[in-house]
């Protein structure tokens, strides 16, 4: 398959009004009979269907007649029935194919996961189930019959009938085939119901393996909250009689929004205090919400083609972020989201894989489910909302749902509803969708006679294939603080639209301190020359929680980059952070976020950004030293926090309890640098929840004292896959860098390293990649180990291999020795015969 271009989009020359599927399940020989009701829209068009080369075509008829064999052509992933064999009016195409779910290790299409039949069709998996127009702009109703002796048989829409061995489903909402799903297995449900505001009673089920029911309640509660929130905030109701969620162990990503039948990676459904951390609970709540919200943003309104992926993903991420802000702390959520954006999306934007939120070409669409499409896609919507205001946003969204319900829409459609609802011209704003790269904005201040002038200069570094980067619309939220820390001017949003611009603030009695990019009002890098004293002032006084946190972050990064390049760091950060964490009335979650030092990867990114070559070992040492200095400077305070932040009573994953635990374990992490791991050892033994046990284990592993705790966990949870995933990943992640590759290699030898399971593979390989100085070992062993496994995985599951290859995406910024090793590893992958299109595209972009 060659490169696909957005510019080549053409509507499909047929309409499809109905799809009927009749599926007889068997592990090695499942039969799929499909009937498609088609009408040609352009005379003389051949009927071209997608279909994997592994589909065994058993029969094909047009209106019940077998066409002349010369009129049916199979070529690659394509089946063509030539126009001469087709009626000019409506007709029915019927096919029967045989497929082998047990042999499907790529987990795309219909596959078996531990005895459960399940499907994954987005983006182009349906073509591995039957011959079909596998493109999102072909939408139709589905009627599905499933034949199997397994007790639970599920598909999309509403149940029509159920008898032993057979179930029928009908989905009345036209949908593209990527939203099709089928599940069959020995499953049990945790059930509840939700009555929509117009009075529809919806049956809710979370289907899990027998014995896992007690771990599914939190997912159910999250679903109910999501359904209510989407009614309250967006006016969106659910539209079927039943909503099913199924947890499966083998899943390529987090979850999938199939209409009425969401399929989830079991790690995003199952949770109990002894097995899941606070972060797991928060993530389950947000992913359940995300998939549920797709029912309107994705399913009722879908994408015209896969270039428009951020239309549904950016918007749905934005909505799930709003939901979490409402359920928990908005300030904390914003800071967490910015951290994630910088760690994943800025990293992507600054390397060889940079692409715009709406790419204009790709080879393998599965390679574009990226932080740029998702998280930057959400940021762009946040900016839009800021620019048109909350009312403008609400009007535009109402218009979007009114105008496009039932459509396969584009980014142009999306921007047009904002233009029509608010009267604002968004031509320049559209660059955020079409241009890659993170804009850098330099801000400078001038103070004269009671007037403050802020001057800005924006530029965006070139990215692959895009050298010209014209100015964008950038909203910069700014506030001014007086010398005593009071806010002298409330937040004002400055709109940049040119390369250089200035804004005046008049009538000021004293020179204020500028709090800039409040709330992280745009996904940019803001550069300003600030001394440590001013940053410390902002950390102490800023009224905007993001800007306040950011001031602390900048202080920490300046200390860390200085230390990592052989300088002497001042003690400004250490003093300021001590003052902050002593503020008993400040949200413990905010204090925890401020106390956690930037990770090694983030320090490397900052150094690279400053034009220096990051040295992973020096960075590791610098971070370890600074942590130790903080611990020594504030030992009594940290120790008091550690003791006070215990959460009495039974474990609850709510935000307030989680915040206390977060601060407690942040303190533990620092104290562990100077107490020989004493507290961690005690905590690991007594804690009844996984949050504190994992935190304690990380401290012990860093010190090289993890063995007893690891053995205890193995003993207790050896048969719990999700806990064992953590067990694998934390060892690779927290190992001292010089041991990391050896630790990972030993883990890979274990019998329970079930590497074909995506979670287990990601646990180990992702764990090593997150060990910055370990993965980037100067002898190249981290790269070589990873390359070996990517090659092995690629033959089995290309999506997982391609995704994990992003471990290499920062390679060009390191020293010559490391670059040589990384390039050799990438070239070794590229030279593999039969390498998948997925991995080939990723690797060739990285070595281009
Ligand atoms: N839409 C799916 C992702 C599908 C990924 C295909 N490789 C999950 C989500 O974003 O909600
Ligand atoms: Zn999504």
Regarding whether 428 and 470 lie in a shared domain, the answer is no
User: Does the C-beta of 601 come closer than 6 Å to ligand 1?
Assistant: no
Is residue 565 in some structural domain?
no
Q: Is 70 exposed, middle or buried (0-12, 13-18, 19+ CB in 10 A)?
A: exposed
3-class DSSP string for 159-189: EEEEECCEEEEEEEEEECHHHCCEEEECCEE
Regarding whether 833 and 733 lie in a shared domain, the answer is yes
CA–CA gap between residue 245 and residue 375 (Å, rounded): 24
Question: What is the ipTM, given to two decimal places?
Answer: 0.99
Residue of 506, 434, 514, 520 lying closest to 474 (CA atoms): 520
Whole-structure pTM value: 0.99
Structural domain total, the chain: 3
Report the separation in Å between the CA atom of 79 and the middle of ligand 2, taken as the mean of its atom positions: 30
- Options 122, 291, 348, 602, the catalytic residue: 291
CB 700 within 8 A of CB 681: yes
Nearest atom of ligand 1 to the alpha carbon of 287: 11
CATH of the domain at 524: 2.60.40.1840
Q: What is the mean pLDDT of residues 291-298?
A: 99
Regarding whether 468 and 426 lie in a shared domain, the answer is no
Is residue 452 in some structural domain?
yes
Regarding whether 391 and 318 lie in a shared domain, the answer is yes
Q: Six-digit token pair at 57?
A: 């075509």
Last residue of a domain, one of 529, 545, 574: 529
3-class DSSP string for 197-243: CCCCEEEEEEEECCCCHHHCHHHHHHHHHHHHHHHHHHCCCCCCCEE
Active site residue 291: yes
Regarding whether 805 and 787 lie in a shared domain, the answer is yes
Residue position matching structure tokens 């329970």 = 752
Nearest atom of ligand 1 to the alpha carbon of 255: 8
Give the torsion through C-alpha atoms of 586, 587, 593, 597, to 10 deg.
40
Report the separation in Å between the CA atom of 313 and the middle of ligand 1, taken as the mean of its atom positions: 8
CA–CA gap between residue 659 and residue 670 (Å, rounded): 17
CA–CA gap between residue 570 and residue 607 (Å, rounded): 18
* pLDDT tens-place string over residues 86-133: 999 999 999 999 999 999 999 999 999 999 999 999 999 999 999 999
Q: What is the mean pLDDT of residues 556-565?
A: 97
Cβ-based neighbours of 783, under 8 Å, separated by 6 or more: 775, 776, 808, 821, 822, 824, 825
Regarding whether 726 and 820 lie in a shared domain, the answer is yes
User: Does the C-beta of 443 come closer than 6 Å to ligand 1?
Assistant: no
What is the predicted pLDDT for the residue at 569? 82
CA–CA gap between residue 102 and residue 115 (Å, rounded): 9
* pLDDT tens-place string over residues 210-264: 999 999 999 999 999 999 999 999 999 999 999 999 999 999 999 999 999 999 9
Is residue 194 in some structural domain?
no
Helix (H, G, I), strand (E, B) or coil at 369: coil
CATH of the domain at 352: 1.10.390.10
Output the residue whose Cα is nearest ligand 1's atom 8.
256
* pLDDT tens-place string over residues 763-802: 999 999 999 999 999 999 999 999 999 999 999 999 999 9
Is residue 386 in some structural domain?
yes
Output the residue whose Cα is nearest ligand 1's atom 5.
122
Residue of 518, 449, 462, 466 lying closest to 487 (CA atoms): 518
The pick from 118, 121, 253 for probing ligand 1's pocket by mutation, whose C-beta has the most ligand atoms within 8 angstroms, reads 253
The pick from 126, 369, 371, 758 for probing ligand 1's pocket by mutation, whose C-beta has the most ligand atoms within 8 angstroms, reads 369
The pick from 313, 321, 362, 841 for probing ligand 1's pocket by mutation, whose C-beta has the most ligand atoms within 8 angstroms, reads 313
Output the residue whose Cα is nearest ligand 1's atom 3.
256
* pLDDT tens-place string over residues 618-650: 999 999 999 999 999 999 999 999 999 999 999
Last residue of a domain, one of 413, 434, 455: 434
Is residue 316 in some structural domain?
yes
Is residue 575 in some structural domain?
no
Regarding whether 493 and 395 lie in a shared domain, the answer is no
User: Does the C-beta of 290 come closer than 6 Å to ligand 1?
Assistant: yes
Regarding whether 792 and 827 lie in a shared domain, the answer is yes
The residue count of the chain comes to 848
What is the predicted pLDDT for the residue at 10? 98
Residue of 108, 153, 104 lying closest to 134 (CA atoms): 108
Nearest atom of ligand 1 to the alpha carbon of 290: 11
> What is each CA distance from 17 to 14, 40, 49, 68, 108, in whole angstroms?
10, 11, 16, 25, 25
pLDDT bin (cut points 50, 70, 90) of residue 570 is confident
Regarding whether 329 and 401 lie in a shared domain, the answer is yes
Regarding whether 730 and 794 lie in a shared domain, the answer is yes
Nearest atom of ligand 1 to the alpha carbon of 291: 11
Residue position matching structure tokens 């919200």 = 293
Output the residue whose Cα is nearest ligand 1's atom 4.
122
pLDDT bin (cut points 50, 70, 90) of residue 347 is very high
Report the separation in Å between the CA atom of 847 and the middle of ligand 1, taken as the mean of its atom positions: 27
Give the torsion through C-alpha atoms of 732, 734, 738, 739, to 10 deg.
-50
User: Does the C-beta of 367 come closer than 6 Å to ligand 1?
Assistant: no
User: Does the C-beta of 313 come closer than 6 Å to ligand 1?
Assistant: yes
- State the residue range of the domain holding 428: 302-434
Regarding whether 817 and 727 lie in a shared domain, the answer is yes
Nearest atom of ligand 1 to the alpha carbon of 252: 7
Which DSSP helix (H) or strand (E) runs through 190?
Answer: strand 188-195
- 485 DSSP assignment: S
Output the residue whose Cα is nearest ligand 1's atom 10.
313
How does the average pLDDT of the chain come out, rounded? 98
Report the separation in Å between the CA atom of 365 and the middle of ligand 1, taken as the mean of its atom positions: 11
Is residue 614 in some structural domain?
no
Helix (H, G, I), strand (E, B) or coil at 413: helix
- 65 DSSP assignment: B
Q: What is the mean pLDDT of residues 287-304?
A: 99
CA–CA gap between residue 88 and residue 44 (Å, rounded): 8
CA–CA gap between residue 209 and residue 384 (Å, rounded): 43
Regarding whether 738 and 846 lie in a shared domain, the answer is yes
CATH of the domain at 753: 1.25.50.10
Last residue of a domain, one of 419, 434, 449: 434
Is residue 230 in some structural domain?
no
Query: Residues 463, 465, 467, CA angle at the centre, nearest 5°?
Result: 60
User: Does the C-beta of 365 come closer than 6 Å to ligand 1?
Assistant: no
User: Does the C-beta of 123 come closer than 6 Å to ligand 1?
Assistant: yes
Nearest atom of ligand 1 to the alpha carbon of 253: 5
What is the predicted pLDDT for the residue at 1? 65
Helix (H, G, I), strand (E, B) or coil at 526: strand
């Amino acid at each position: 398959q060659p490169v696909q271009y957005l510019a080549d989009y053409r509507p499909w020359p047929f309409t499809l009004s109905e799809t009927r599927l009749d599926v007889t399940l068997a592990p090695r020989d499942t039969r799929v009979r499909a009937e498609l009701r088609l009408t040609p829209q352009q005379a003389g068009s051949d009927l071209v269907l997608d279909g994997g080369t592994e589909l065994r075509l058993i029969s094909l008829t047009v209106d019940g007649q077998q066409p002349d064999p010369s009129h049916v052509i199979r070529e690659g992933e394509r089946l063509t029935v030539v126009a001469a064999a087709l009626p000019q009016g409506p007709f029915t195409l019927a096919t029967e194919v045989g497929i082998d779910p047990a042999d499907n290790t790529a987990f795309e299409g219909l596959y078996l996961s531990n005895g459960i039949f399940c499907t994954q069709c987005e983006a182009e998996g349906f073509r591995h189930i039957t011959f079909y127009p596998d493109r999102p702009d072909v939408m139709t109703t589905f009627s599905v019959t499933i034949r199997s002796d397994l007790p639970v048989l599920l598909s999309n829409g509403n149940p029509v009938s159920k008898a032993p061995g057979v179930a029928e489903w009908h989905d009345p909402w036209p949908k593209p085939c990527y939203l099709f799903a089928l599940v069959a297995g020995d499953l049990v449900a945790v059930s509840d119901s939700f009555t929509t505001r117009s009075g529809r009673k919806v049956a809710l089920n979370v289907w899990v393996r027998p014995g896992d029911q007690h771990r599914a309640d939190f997912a159910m509660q999250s679903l109910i909250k999501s359904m209510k929130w989407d009614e309250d905030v967006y006016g969106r109701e659910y539209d079927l009689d039943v909503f099913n969620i199924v947890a499966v162990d083998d899943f390529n990503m987090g979850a999938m929004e199939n209409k009425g039948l969401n399929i989830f990676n079991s790690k995003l459904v199952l949770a109990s205090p002894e097995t899941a951390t606070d972060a797991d609970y928060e993530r389950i709540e947000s992913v359940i919400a995300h998939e549920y919200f797709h029912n309107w943003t994705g399913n009722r309104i879908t994408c015209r083609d896969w270039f428009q992926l951020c239309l549904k993903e950016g918007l749905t991420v934005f909505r799930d972020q709003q939901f979490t802000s409402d359920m928990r702390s908005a300030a904390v959520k914003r800071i967490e989201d910015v951290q994630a954006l910088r760690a994943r999306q800025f990293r992507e934007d600054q390397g060889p894989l940079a692409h715009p939120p709406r790419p204009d070409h790709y080879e393998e669409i599965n390679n574009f489910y990226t932080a740029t499409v998702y998280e930057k896609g959400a940021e762009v919507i946040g900016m839009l909302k800021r620019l048109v205001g909350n009312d403008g946003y609400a009007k535009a969204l109402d218009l979007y749902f009114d105008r496009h319900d039932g459509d396969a829409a584009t980014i142009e459609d999306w921007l047009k509803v904002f233009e029509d609802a608010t009267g604002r011209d968004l031509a320049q704003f559209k660059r955020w969708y079409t241009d890659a790269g993170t804009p850098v904005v330099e801000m400078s201040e001038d103070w004269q006679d009671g007037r403050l002038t802020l001057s800005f200069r924006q530029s965006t570094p070139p990215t692959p294939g895009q050298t010209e980067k014209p100015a964008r619309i950038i909203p910069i939220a700014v506030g001014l603080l007086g010398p005593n820390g009071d806010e002298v001017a409330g937040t004002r949003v400055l709109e940049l639209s040119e390369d250089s611009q200035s804004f005046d603030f008049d009538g000021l009695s004293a020179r204020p301190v500028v709090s800039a990019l409040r709330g992280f009002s745009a996904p940019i890098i803001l550069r300003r020359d600030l001394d440590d004293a001013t940053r410390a002032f902002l950390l102490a006084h800023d009224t905007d929680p993001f800007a306040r946190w950011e001031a602390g972050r900048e202080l920490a990064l300046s200390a860390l980059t200085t230390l990592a390049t052989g300088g002497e760091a001042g003690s400004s950060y250490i003093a300021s952070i001590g003052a902050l964490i002593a503020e008993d009335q400040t949200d413990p979650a905010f204090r925890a976020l401020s106390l956690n030092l930037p990770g090694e990867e983030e320090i490397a990114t900052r150094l690279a950004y400053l034009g220096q070559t990051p040295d992973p070992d020096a960075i590791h040492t610098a971070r370890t030293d600074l942590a130790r200095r903080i611990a020594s400077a504030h030992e009594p305070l940290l120790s008091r926090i550690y003791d006070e932040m215990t959460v009495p009573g039974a474990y609850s994953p709510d935000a307030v309890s989680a915040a206390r635990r977060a601060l407690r374990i942040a303190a533990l992490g620092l104290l562990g640098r100077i107490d020989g791991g004493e507290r961690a050892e005690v905590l690991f033994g007594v804690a009844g929840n996984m949050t504190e046990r994992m935190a304690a284990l990380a401290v012990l592993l860093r010190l090289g004292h993890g063995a007893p705790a690891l053995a205890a966990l193995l003993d207790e949870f050896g048969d719990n896959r999700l806990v064992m995933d953590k067990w694998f990943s934390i060892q690779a992640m927290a190992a001292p860098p010089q041991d990391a590759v050896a630790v990972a290699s030993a883990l890979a030898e274990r019998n329970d390293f079930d590497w074909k399971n995506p979670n287990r593979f990601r646990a180990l390989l992702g764990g090593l990649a997150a060990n910055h100085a370990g993965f980037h070992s100067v002898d190249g062993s981290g790269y070589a180990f990873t390359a070996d496994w990517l090659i092995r995985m690629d033959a089995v599951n290309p999506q997982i291999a391609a995704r994990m290859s992003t471990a290499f995406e920062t390679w060009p910024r390191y020293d010559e020795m490391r670059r040589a090793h990384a390039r050799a590893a990438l070239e070794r992958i590229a030279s593999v015969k039969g390498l998948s299109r997925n991995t080939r595209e990723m690797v060739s972009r990285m070595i281009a």
